[in-house]
Amino acid sequence: GGIITQTPKFLIGQEGQKLTLKCQQNFNHDTMYWYRQDSGKGLRLIYYSITENDLQKGDLSEGYDASREKKSSFSLTVTSAQKNEMAVFLCASSGTGGGDTQYFGPGTRLLVL
Amino acid sequence: GQGVEQPDNLMSVEGTFARVNCTYSTSGFNGLSWYQQREGHAPVFLSYVVLDGLKDSGHFSTFLSRSNGYSYLLLTELQIKDSASYLCAVRDDTNAYKVIFGKGTHLHVLP
């Protein structure tokens, strides 16, 4: 078995601030994902990475940057936090072959004041 | 356009069953997954189907009809702890790494 950890668990930021979320996995999975989950909406893909140093934009990449420096970690940066923004950011990983089975981390809950 | 649709809410009674429906419209099809998400927790993988028919996995079973763009997740012998959101996710055949998630169906199991 393996585990995905996300830090921090809660993140409170100020409008315009640059915020970084981190994700680590020990499944030895090739592919990692960042999703945003808002109340009443499905998970929306922000960025994904097929392998170390690879980055692919998802449908919601505007306003975000990502970094995959090594196979086990995938970081997401909110480049300029929006006032009153409230969402959960979920990191996931999957083995070779794509997204049929994804394993999710516990999430980072963001609140922007 | 592409989309995955699920009802927002579903209610059922402990000891009975619940069927969570999912319809999808995608450019091609390369598999459908179901996830369970409890309040405040991460989604947990339940099942993956790519062929038509019923896949029986005990407490959770999944059905797929590709010609109708339809799947359901069937939970039998419901327990109170089955109360959760159930997410349907479809992978189209243009990109194996991207899946389209539905909003999820919140199942309320009543005593």
Is the CB of B42 less than 8 angstroms away from the CB of A58? no
- Decide if A90 touches B, using CB distance below 8 A: yes
Say if CB A110 and CB A89 are below 8 A apart. Answer: yes
Over the stretch B25-48, which tens digit does the pLDDT of each residue have? 988 888 999 999 998 899 999 999
User: What was the pLDDT predicted at A99?
Assistant: 61
Q: What's residue A44's pLDDT?
A: 94
Which residue did the predictor score with more confidence, B26 or A11? A11
Phi, psi of B92 (to 5 degrees): -90, 180
- B27 DSSP 8-state letter: S
Share of chain B above pLDDT 90, in %: 80
Q: Does residue B33 belong to the interface with chain A, where contact is any CB pair within 8 Å?
A: yes
pLDDT of residue A100: 75
CA A16 from chain centre, in angstroms, equals 19
Size of the A and B interface in Cβ pairs below 8 Å: 58
Distance of CA B96 to the CA centre of its chain: 19
Residues 20-39 of A with CB under 8 A from B: 31, 35
pLDDT surpasses 70 at A98: no
Q: Is the pLDDT of residue B16 over 80?
A: yes
In this complex, is the C-beta atom of B11 within 8 Å of any C-beta atom belonging to chain A?
A: no
A107 → closest Cβ in B4, B42, B89: B42
Cβ contact, residue pair B101, A31, below 8 Å: no
Comparing CA positions, the residue from B46, B27, B31 lying closest to residue B104 is B46
B81 phi and psi angles, rounded to 5 deg: -70, -10
What's chain B's average pLDDT? 93
Residue B90: what pLDDT? 93
For residue B68, pLDDT over 90 is answered with: yes
For B:59-98, CB contacts with A below 8 A are: 87, 89, 91, 96-98
For residue B38, list chain A residues with Cβ-Cβ distance below 8 A.
none
